[in-house]
Amino acid sequence: MEDALDRLLPRIGGSGVIDRLAALSGSDFTSVMLEVARRRAARENPASVLRRYERDRFVRPGQGPVRALRRVENVLLGCLPEAERRVVQLTVMYELPQRAVAQRLGVSQMQVSRLRASGLRRLRQQAGDLATLA
């Protein structure tokens, strides 16, 4: 970890940047991280995402054809009620924090948590049902 920090600190303005980030409240830090994620996502295109998956040591693309996997994903998400589908997409697929999703949808964070849990439970059930048909 120290080697990575030694390499990165000069590029981001020194250790003072880390100190200022560490001093932020949790919600302010989350806002900064969301903005960083948005800016990084804006630079991406499907080809660059696939190239990154190929070289990333932690994540590898599935072995199945991407279009077939996407169709299965769409079928599974289509089985969810609208509220559950939106919450699952935002919290799981787009990795937004539950608080941000709650604000975006105008509901409580507890409601987002419940919708996420019930949506994921329903997806697991539907995925199991699809697997038995195959």
Do 46 and 78 share a domain, yes or no? no
The structural domain count of the chain equals: 2
Please report the pLDDT score of residue 116 as a whole number.
Answer: 95
Q: How far is CA 49 from CA 5, 46, 56, 59, 100, in A?
A: 25, 5, 10, 11, 24
Count H helices and E strands in the chain, helices first.
8, 0
Do 134 and 72 share a domain, yes or no? yes
Do 106 and 51 share a domain, yes or no? no
pLDDT, tens digit (0-9, with 9 covering 90-100), for 68-98: 878 888 889 999 999 999 999 999 888 899 9
The average confidence (pLDDT) of the chain is 84
Which domain range does residue 30 map to? 1-61
Which of the four pLDDT bands, split at 50, 70 and 90, describes residue 58? low
Q: What percent of the chain has pLDDT over 70?
A: 86
Do 109 and 132 share a domain, yes or no? yes
Lowest average pLDDT, out of 43-47, 48-52, 64-68, 114-118, goes to 48-52
Whether this model's pTM surpasses 0.85: no
Do 72 and 107 share a domain, yes or no? yes
- Structural tokens at position 21: 């980030």
